[in-house]
Amino acid sequence: MAKGGQTPQDPASPEMRAAWQRMEEGDVAGARREARRILGSNPSPEDRSQAEELLRRTQTPPAVYGFAALVLLILVLLVALALSRY
């Protein structure tokens, strides 16, 4: 969930204001969907920059995927070791 003060002081349009509000309420997927919709509809330069900023702030860090792969590898290894004992 977004922390206070992360939303720009003056969102460029009511659509961007709604997208930022969704993000603050914890609906990150909805906020990203709204930002993509705004980018696809020939927005003003202010809306474009804010939509790109919202998408940048809400993307999943690549390190999370590496950590998930490591956890999966360890889990498979432990299951294989447990099965080899029986």
Model's pTM, two decimal places? 0.67
Give me the residue spans of the domains in the chain.
Answer: 14-84
Provide the pLDDT for residue 70. Answer: 97
Contact predicate 56/33, CB 8 Å: no
CA distances from 77 to 38, 72, 80 (A): 45, 9, 5
Provide the pLDDT for residue 1. Answer: 46
Give the residue carrying structure tokens 């969907």.
33
Q: Mind listing the pLDDT tens digit for each residue in 2-11?
A: 455 566 666 6
Q: Mind listing the pLDDT tens digit for each residue in 23-78?
A: 999 899 999 999 999 999 888 888 899 999 999 999 999 999 999 999 999 999 99
